[in-house]
Amino acid sequence: MIEEGSKSSKSMVEKRQLFMEMRAQNFDVIRLSTYRTACKLRFVQKRCNLHLVDVWNMIESFRDNGLSTLDHNAEINVSRLETILSSIFYQLNKRLPTTHQINVEQSIGLLLNFIVATYDSEGHGKLTVFAMKAMLATMCGGKILDKLRYIFSQISDSNGVMVFAKFDQFLREVLKLPTAVFEGPSFGYTEHSVRTCFTQQKKILLNTFLDVLMADPPPQYLVWLPLMHRLANVENVFHPVECSYCRSESMMGFRYRCQQCHGYQLCQSCFWRGHASGPHSNQHQMKEHSSWKSPAKKLSHAISKSLGCMPIGEPPHPVFPEAAERPQDLAHTTNTLESPSRLDEEHRLIARYAARLAAEASNSTQCPPSDLSFNFDANKQQRQLIAELENKNREILQEIQRLRLEHEQASQPTPEKAQQNPTLLAELRLLRHRKDELERRMSALQESRRELMVQLESLMRLLKDEEQKQATGSSPHSSPSHSVSCTMPMPIRSTSAGSTPTHTPQDCLAGVGDDVLDAFSQGVPRNLRNDLLVAADSITNTMSSLVKELHSVDDGLEEEEENMRNGREKVSSLKHSGKRNSTPSF
């Protein structure tokens, strides 16, 4: 009794293991049910190693285990299901290298428990053959096109027309997968599921079936199926772009770009969780990108589009013949390949391809009759491409001619342009005349300043001598003006050329400022040091204002000359560019 209880508890733990691991991934924080369902089913697929089993390997396993000959409604028990899963994963390990071997027992246990929990929730211990085929064909690896072709071969009649009752049964079984990962409210089966995909009045063939299920967007109940395949394709896609919310410097997987906010991009984690920042809102339309195009690729794409050389977009799937396809169970593969007619057909096909390659290698103008239509189509496309390139060439030549005329009109001589603007010339002449006047005034003031500085230096020396005499006790009745007139050196006056120098104080102080004259006009000496400093400051301020005015005039002249020089250089460059563009070569 104890052993049976331990076995049952262990079985319960194994059944819950996959779902516990899935809950630990925290997929429920994804706000969109489509992405949430696709992520959960993708996790189950990878955890059970079903992504390593291609759909054609799965079909081969169905044939090897005798499922191709059983009716869809036939039931198999859990033990036989375990045998089928064992053959699938053991054959997988044979195909994988030794360094990438999987744990077969663990994969079998996880997948078996998931299938039983999904299709035998009531505990009968049995499930139908069609349910197992639909589940394994949907959850295995491979292209979605191959999966849908196999599913159509299982739900169509002998004439290649889809049976609505079988398609309804397929939806009933495949929509149990979202329900098993707790997404039944969004993608559970209802009686209206078939009507949302097809109208029963139409005759549904293979191409129509593929058009509907591979459309963009696909039917609402199956929208998670193509998204699960896109998730598998972008898991290792790298985008060298910074996320506008989490500030991650790169992205892996999907990239989402807002159609309203310029330059706003989100990684798949932030978009799935509804993060937004700044003026961006979750209500804005986002475009999903599954690849990254460098600026160089974008430029080449734009150039090809402008030249009309863009290739025609490929359809979502190849167009298949309307004749009924044989069920894709691979049961007829061996007999067909070994038949003599099949071998003869292959030999003829190889011979035809060899003849085509030989004709192309020798550049022969004569072609086999079977290749006439092919060569005619190729030549027609080449002629169309040449015509388009010639039209573009003519447009480019016309544009070059127009630019050359504009350059010739712009490259007019400078004097004519100057004559068209007499105001500028008048201002330049006025500025030059003002500059000459200021330079002459500057020279005169500099000469006067030099003479005044000599006089001030002499007066300061006399003042110092007078103070020394008073300090040594000289006669207080001596006159300061008399001392100055007797010992002061005679200045040179350049402003009055014919004047005769004398030894009077008035002649010595001629040309000195009013402050200096006042200082020596009194009988009693004042503080001559301060008066002389005030006079020197007034002279310095006058010279500074004059220098600033002269510099402002120089700056104005230099700016005007620089503008004229730039104008001449632009005209010269336009002349040279016009000469270079006048003889284009293609």
Q: What is the pLDDT of residue 568?
A: 62
Q: How far apart are CA 458 and CA 460, in angstroms?
A: 5
Least confident of 9-13, 237-241, 422-426: 9-13
Per-residue pLDDT of 221-242, as tens digits, reads 899 999 999 999 998 888 989 9
322-333: b (≥16 Cβ within 10 Å) or e? eeeeeebbeeee
The yes-or-no verdict on residue 260 having pLDDT over 80 is yes
The yes-or-no verdict on residue 507 having pLDDT over 60 is no
Q: What is the pLDDT of residue 217?
A: 86
What string of H, E and C letters represents the secondary structure of 246-304? CCCCCEECCEEEECCCCCCEEEHHHHHCCCCCCCCCCCCCEEEECCCCCHHHHHHHHHH
The yes-or-no verdict on residue 401 having pLDDT over 50 is yes
268 contacts 255 by C-beta, under 8 angstroms: yes
Show the tokens assigned to 419: 């004559």
Question: What is the band of 201 on the pLDDT scale with cuts at 50, 70, 90?
Answer: low
Show the tokens assigned to 80: 């036989």
Q: What is the mean pLDDT of residues 500-512?
A: 43
Please state whether 278 falls in left (phi above 0), alpha (psi between -120 and 50) or beta: left
Least confident of 254-268, 460-474, 556-570: 556-570
Per-residue pLDDT of 105-138, as tens digits, reads 999 999 999 999 999 888 888 999 999 999 999 9
Least confident of 267-281, 400-414, 453-467, 469-483: 469-483
Q: How far apart are CA 544 and CA 191, in angstroms?
A: 99
The yes-or-no verdict on residue 511 having pLDDT over 70 is no
Question: What is the band of 425 on the pLDDT scale with cuts at 50, 70, 90?
Answer: confident
Q: What is the mean pLDDT of residues 185-191?
A: 87
Least confident of 144-158, 471-485, 558-572: 471-485
Show the tokens assigned to 42: 């993708």
Q: What is the pLDDT of residue 527?
A: 59
The yes-or-no verdict on residue 278 having pLDDT over 80 is yes
Question: What is the band of 315 on the pLDDT scale with cuts at 50, 70, 90?
Answer: low
More confident residue, 151 or 579: 151
| Full-model pTM | 0.54
The yes-or-no verdict on residue 174 having pLDDT over 80 is yes
More confident residue, 267 or 329: 267
Per-residue pLDDT of 439-451, as tens digits, reads 888 888 888 778 8
Using alpha carbons, select from 255, 274, 253, 273 the residue that is nearest to residue 264.
255
289 contacts 230 by C-beta, under 8 angstroms: no
What string of H, E and C letters represents the secondary structure of 19-40? HHHHHHCCHHHCCCHHHHHHHH
Question: What is the band of 392 on the pLDDT scale with cuts at 50, 70, 90?
Answer: confident
Q: What is the pLDDT of residue 503?
A: 41
Give Cα separations from 29 to 39, 188, 223, 275 (angstroms): 11, 20, 19, 11
Q: Residue 222: how many CB atoms within 10 A of its CB? A: 21
Question: What is the band of 10 on the pLDDT scale with cuts at 50, 70, 90?
Answer: low
Per-residue pLDDT of 24-37, as tens digits, reads 999 999 999 999 99
Q: How far apart are CA 570 and CA 411, in angstroms?
A: 9
Average pLDDT score, the chain:
76
Q: What is the pLDDT of residue 12?
A: 59
Show the tokens assigned to 440: 């002459």
Q: What is the mean pLDDT of residues 532-537?
A: 68
Q: How far apart are CA 146 and CA 318, in angstroms?
A: 11
Give Cα separations from 487 to 52, 245, 509 (angstroms): 119, 91, 13
Question: What is the band of 548 on the pLDDT scale with cuts at 50, 70, 90?
Answer: confident
Q: What is the pLDDT of residue 478?
A: 43
